[in-house]
Amino acid sequence: MAKRDAEQSQKGGTNKKSGEAFLAKKKTEKGVKSTPSGLLYKVIVGGKGEKPKATDTVQVHYRGTMIDGTEFDSSYGRGVPATFPVNGVIRGWTEALQLMKVGSKWELYIPSELAYGERGAGEQIGPNSTLIFTVELLGIQKPEPSVPPAPKAQ
């Protein structure tokens, strides 16, 4: 167990350094924008629809890769868009989605602290991994309005 923890810690340090170098280089590229949190993004296609709120559910197509290009997930590969709550995903996605308009397609460069951090995710996403996502915002589903309670019988 201690050996595995040491290996994870070493891998996390390596991932963090390579991720920081990748983001520093990416930040200098034309068209790449940054937010105060450290999220980087590039608009591939600008949308004309509305922007989702944290309480909305969105429908997206996406592809996720490591900084070396290894794909770890893709709704395109499954042939079906994904639907999920804006505030139910990694912080980098939650932030980016609220900046995007329906019809947009962006490339996101997400530092580890806005992704899965020190814990990583599954077999493919190691600790402190910087992630790249191509995200296409297809639609927004507003939350169901709360039904006010029925008036009490007199």
Could you read off the pLDDT of 30-66 as tens digits, one per residue? 999 999 999 999 999 999 999 999 999 999 999 999 9
Q: Is the pLDDT of residue 3 over 70?
A: no
Residue 150's pLDDT band, with cuts at 50, 70 and 90, is: low
Asked whether residue 69 is assigned to any structural domain, the reply reads: yes
Report the CATH number that the domain containing residue 121 is assigned in CATH: 3.10.50.40
How many independent structural domains does the chain possess? 1
Q: Is the pLDDT of residue 2 over 60?
A: no
86 CB burial (10 A radius; 0-12, 13-18, 19+) = buried
Q: Which residues are catalytic?
A: 62, 72-73, 90, 116, 133
- Mean confidence (pLDDT) of the chain: 90
Q: Are 71 and 95 in contact (CB under 8 A)?
A: no
% of residues, the chain, pLDDT over 70: 86
Asked whether residue 149 is assigned to any structural domain, the reply reads: no
Q: Which domain holds residue 81?
A: 2-141
Asked whether residue 154 is assigned to any structural domain, the reply reads: no
Within its chain, how far is the Cα of 106 from the centroid? 11
Asked whether residue 150 is assigned to any structural domain, the reply reads: no
Within its chain, how far is the Cα of 49 from the centroid? 20
Asked whether residue 153 is assigned to any structural domain, the reply reads: no
Residue 90's pLDDT band, with cuts at 50, 70 and 90, is: very high
Could you read off the pLDDT of 123-149 as tens digits, one per residue? 889 999 999 999 999 999 987 766 566
Asked whether residue 6 is assigned to any structural domain, the reply reads: yes
Q: What is the largest CA-CA distance in the chain?
A: 70
Overall average pLDDT of the 88-101 stretch = 97
- Per DSSP, the chain holds a count of helices (H) and strands (E) of 3, 7
- The Cβ of residue 101 has, within 10 Å, a number of other Cβ atoms equal to 15
Asked whether residue 136 is assigned to any structural domain, the reply reads: yes
125 CB burial (10 A radius; 0-12, 13-18, 19+) = buried
Q: What is the pLDDT of residue 102?
A: 98
Task: Round to whole Å and give the CA distance between 131 and 106.
Answer: 14
pTM, two decimal places: 0.85
Asked whether residue 146 is assigned to any structural domain, the reply reads: no
